[in-house]
Chain A
Amino acid sequence: MKIKKLRSKIAIAASLALSAGLVATGLPSAQAAGLQPTAAQLAAWKGKEITYYFYNDSQAELDTTKSQIADFEKLTGAKVKLDVIPYTSLDTQLQARLAAGNAPDVARLNNPGLYIKDSLDLEKYLGRKYAAEFLKGSTLQVTHPTTKKLIGVPYDLTVNGPFINVDMFKKAGVAVPTSWNWTELVAAGKKVQKATGSEYAFAIDKSGHRVSTAMSHFGAYMVDKNQRNVLPTSKFRAEKAIKIITDLYKADQAPRDLWIGTGTKYSSPTAIFLAQQTPIFFSGNWQVAALAKDAKFDFAAVPNPKELNGGGWPGGKFLVAFNASKTPDLAAYFLYFLADTAQMEQMDKNAFWLPTRADLVAQGVKYATRTADMGVFQADAAKTPAAAYGIQSVPTLTGNIYNKLRDLMTEVIAGKITAKQAVQTQIDFIDAQLATLRK
């Protein structure tokens, strides 16, 4: 208990020292003023309450957030009300709250493009150079499309990739892959399925974002950094990627019910992987904490398959403060506090997140466990092709484009359309979406 208290005090001291240190290193005065609360601010914040709209993939994220909030409250004298929201209704509830004039002060989001008009201009509170503290490119989705100002903070970097059930692979006599392509992945999955009698050979999250990873491996992309539809130039590659996945589902070697039987809802085969019904589960690094806690077998993250490209697909979660906040400086400071080096490192370590801060990436995060798994994701992040970041140039449309791809995949799995038709429909849809930007 004493150690915990001591740690907490050290964390607060470190945070203050960091703020002071940044001031001392000669950062612009506007930034310095934003980083270190003044005595007047602390007096004004005392007893004030802000709301943090939050969702979590694992218990570790929630526990760490609660502990960091407690530290923040001690530091500022303000109160933070934590609203924990299920991922599936994250945007629905937030849209309703914003429309009803009941905006939270800060939110953790995965689609910040939807809230551009509502987001607080962080540069006003945290300085112009604050964005430079994060990985280049990671702030693209939280940069205002016209003012080019920072309106959010990349909180964690996510990398898509496969997990395997090591026990099942061993039982089937299939070596744990250190590199493979999609044909080898499919063959390995089928071999393990046959040897172990598992229900399926493979499973992937019902998500257009995850399918985009396979498309990237085959060299197919949807939107480039100049907001152009580039799918027509790589449609045959996209067809290959879609076909290799949907063929598994059509043959009942992947859980088709999860795609076809869940309508427009997001669904993940995490429970299927945990029940050892599939030896391969394609998802991403955010699953590590939950799998580490719940898996009753040996599992491992393995490299993404490589065709023309390897690597993952960029994604992540963002912290956004809202301009409707009654205490915008406090909201901005809370966001700054959560994304500072000490807090981010703590969260990354506890929840197996990948850092977005340039300093943390440079020094490396030392995970207490699952080091090899996190190493695989870090390596795949580095191998992710630059073209994969192109879609982030249209932050307001990414959700629509991914959802359409998900729905078309479902239709291919159900045999309603072919992969070729799916790609053509997606091309037309992207054209129509991009046209809305030019209206």
Chain B
Amino acid sequence: MPYLFVAPNMLIFITFIIWPAIRGFQISFYDSIDGRTFTPVGTGNYKAIFGDPTVAEVAKNTAIYVVFYVIISTLLSIAFALIVNEQKFAKGFFRAILFLPVMLSPIVVGLIWNDVLDRKVGPLNALLQAIGGGSPGWLVEPKLGMMAVIFVGVWVHLGFYSIILLAGLQGIDRSLLEAAAMDGATRPQIIRTIILPLLKPTTLVILILATIHGFQSFDFIYTLTGGGPLGATTLIVQYIYDRAFQTPIQYGLGSAAGVILFMIIFAFTALNFLLGKKREAI
């Protein structure tokens, strides 16, 4: 009987996730320019990826993006969750504002920030110029381009992570906090010694989610910078997209890169999970 209940969900999961993943793995051992004719190449696609000089740059970009994205978004979402949790006035309004970017289409996000960050006519540079800050090429200079996509990535997901952490915060037994306050603990002490340790399981979830989101980032970046300037914001998913869908089309190579991405995300998720479990055990 329980299997019957999970059957519809499993059917969808198998059809749209498991089966395409298996097919993707299979295709990674073939060369195909049209998705209909497949020439077996063994591990040729994997060798081609590791021999491709652009891969090192893509790996570096992805590593920079994921590290900064995960750290900044986790820290900021904890801070925002704490602030929102303490709020007395217009609670709903501020939570809605915080969550709003999550509801925007990634394409819209990319277009909005493309306008905001425009070097010549963007409002941000207009503001900077008004206060004598010059007009940085946010989308033209490679380093600034990376900063811009990290910022936008954090902006998009911050609300989502904050809401999860907020739920975690509200699950903390208030008597513990009240007891600490009665014992004379200051607010920073309460946060450091009670709230943050009790929030660890939720924080671990955020870390795992942020790592996955970080590695999977593509849509808004593609709209915002197209992977430029000069490939500085080309992350692994765009590498996959470019190989699979831009001329010259190489579905096999794209699939092989997809398999590698899966293995990276799987390894990081497992590592996060195991480290979290270990800390819990201690």
Are A410 and B230 neighbours in the complex by a CB distance under 8 Å? yes
C-alpha spacing A114/B33, complex, angstroms: 9
Q: Is B219 engaged at the interface, CB distance under 8 Å to the other chain?
A: no
Give CA–CA (A91, B241) in the complex, Å.
13
A99-B222 CB under 8 A given contacts A91-B247, A260-B229 = no
Most buried by B among A92, A95, A100, A118: A95
Q: Which one of A73-81, A140-148, A261-269 contacts B?
A: A261-269
Q: From DSSP, what is the main secondary structure of chain A's interface residues?
A: helix
Give chain A residues whose Cβ lies under 8 Å from the Cβ of B245. Answer: 91-92, 95-96
A253 to chain B, nearest CB (A): 12
Interface pair B247/A265, CB less than 8 Å apart: no
Q: Say whether B249 faces chain A, with CB atoms less than 8 Å apart.
A: yes
Complexed CA–CA distance, A260 and B140 (Å) = 6
Which of A98, A114, A263 contacts B228 (CB under 8 A)? A263
Q: Which of B162-191 contact A (CB under 8 A)?
A: none
Cα A92 to Cα B35 with chains together (Å): 12
Determine whether the beta carbon of A399 is less than 8 Å from that of B247. Answer: yes
Q: Which residues of A contact B238 (CB under 8 A)?
A: 263
B228 to chain A: which residues have CB within 8 Å? Answer: 260-264, 410
Q: How far is the CB of A254 from chain B (nearest CB, A)?
A: 12
B145 touches A (CB below 8 Å): yes
A114 to B121, CA, bound (A): 38
- A158 and B234 CA atoms in complex are apart in Å by 33
Chain B residues with CB below 8 A from A100, complex form:
35
From B120, which residue of chain A is reached at the shortest CB distance? A199
CA gap between A400 and B233 in the complex, in Å: 22
Q: How far is the CA of A411 from the CA of B230 in the complex (A)?
A: 7
CA distance A265 to B107 in the complex (A): 14
| Interface SS majority for chain B | loop
CB atoms of B137 and A257 under 8 A apart? yes
Q: Please tell me the number of chain B residues within 8 Å of chain A, measured between CB atoms.
A: 30
- The interface size bin for chain A is 20 to 34
Q: How far is the CA of A382 from the CA of B184 in the complex (A)?
A: 90
Is there a chain B Cβ closer than 8 Å to A416's Cβ?
Answer: yes
Q: Say yes or no: A261 contacts B35, CB within 8 Å.
A: no
Against B, the Cβ 8 Å flags (1 = close, 0 = not) of A188-201 are: 00000000000100
A98 to B37, CA, bound (A): 11
Residues of B contacting A99 in the complex (Cβ-Cβ under 8 angstroms): 34-36, 251
Task: Please report the C-alpha to C-alpha distance between residue A260 and residue B144 in the assembled complex, in whole angstroms.
Answer: 13
Please state if B140 and A256 are interface contacts (CB–CB under 8 Å). Answer: yes
* Residue A9 at the chain B interface, CB threshold 8 Å: no
When chains A and B are docked, how far (Å) is the Cα of A262 from the Cα of B229? 7
A111 to B121, CA, bound (A): 34
Q: Please name all residues of chain B whose beta carbon is closer than 8 Å to the beta carbon of A176 when the two chains form the complex.
A: none
Q: Which residue of B lies closest to A411 (CB)?
A: B230
Closest 5 A-B residue pairs measured CB to CB?
Answer: A263-B226, A99-B35, A263-B227, A261-B139, A263-B228
- Beyond the given A257-B140, A400-B247, could you list 12 further A-B residue pairs with CB under 8 A, ordered by the A residue number? A99-B36, A114-B249, A257-B118, A257-B137, A261-B119, A261-B137, A261-B226, A262-B226, A263-B231, A263-B234, A264-B227, A403-B246
Please report A residues at the B interface, Cβ cutoff 8 Å.
91-92, 95-96, 98-100, 111, 114, 117-118, 199, 255-257, 260-265, 399-400, 403, 410-411, 414, 416
Mark B residues whose CB is within 8 Å of A.
Answer: 34-37, 118-121, 137, 139-140, 145, 222, 225-231, 233-234, 238, 242, 245-249, 251
